[in-house]
Amino acid sequence: MKNHSCPYISFDFTSRFLPPVFILVFIIGLAANGWGLKSLLQKWKKLGNVNVFVLNLGLADILYLLTLPFLMVYYFRKSEWIFGDVFCKITRFCFNLNLYGSIGFLTCISVYRYLAVVHPVRVMGRLTVTHSVAISVMVWLLVGVQSLPDMFYVKTTYKNNTGKCFDTTSKDYVEDYLKYSLGWTFTGFLIPLLITLGCYGHVIVVLCRTNTTDKVLKQRCLKLLFILILLFSVCYIPYHVLKNLTLYARVLSNQKTDTKIPWEPTVFGAHQISRGLVCLNSALNPLVYLHTVENIPAQLRQLLQKTRQMFNCRCTSHTGRVPVAQNVDEV
């Protein structure tokens, strides 16, 4: 009987590919989400209905980003987990909260945009910040309930004093986990995807048919639709498809211990790439700030303008044309 641990799969690829992605996402995501949340909190009294969901979207990203340094250490050490079983489960739980919380709040934003454009008279004055807060709490509870069973699966295993922290579970429970994952994918990803597509599909039809629609609103809706398509196409769809295919390949590998699954190495490698892509959502989600919060684009333009002015001032001072002190006084 041949070993069914699939030695022909290169597990070193994960340790080479994921750490650079995590470092990039951690730096960009922390800076972008921190700046976006700061802008929201400065306008807390003027917080709108949609902005409540944007705030929760940022909090979900921050929660996940704080776990990335531990995953960086894990993969830099060639998949050697040194932080214990409990923290492994917490790390994976935070990832799931971020992933499905992001999908949930993006869906809420889509529904609110749909109501504001297609049914503005019906919802005017009826949707308050209190409603948005209540819906946000429901999203967190729903995502938490969906993610909680994942913590009861085996997440760590130790061999020769080397620990592994699974993003799914060990091979002994993979068949049961596949069933759970398929149901999770349907309720946590597929249904929100269909709702989002339905909302923005109807919004685009209404905007194209109505000539009196504000051009700024039309452009903002189209840009937000493009961002959502980007997020779902790059981050969410590949991850869910390849995750379940990988689990299915592992199930077949367990059942046919004397036969290799020819397409398993390809699916495994593609799944590792999709794991890197799905964590990019924490760096791409701040793009939503630019098209839901009115003052942030203006702040971004001011920041870029100040940066150019500072750069020009430094270049001028280095050429010796204008004294540095005079240039500072003028600014």
Q: What is the pLDDT of residues 230-289, one digit of tens each?
A: 889 899 999 999 999 999 999 998 887 666 778 888 898 899 999 999 999 998 888 877
Helix (H) or strand (E) holding 159: strand 156-159
pLDDT of 214 reads 65
Question: The whole model's pTM is what?
Answer: 0.82
pLDDT of 270 reads 92
> Which residues are registered as beta bridge partners of 157?
164
What are the residue ranges of helices labelled H in 43-128?
49-65, 68-76, 85-118, 120-123
If you write DSSP's letter for every residue of 162-197 in order, what string do you get?
EEEE-SS--GGGHHHHHHHHHHHHIIIIIHHHHHHH
Instruction: Report all structural domains of the chain as residue ranges with CATH numbers, in order of start.
Output: 12-293 (1.20.1070.10)
pLDDT of 277 reads 93
What does each C-alpha distance from 154 to 36, 167, 168 come to in angstroms? 37, 10, 8
Sign of CA dihedral 318, 321, 327, 331: negative
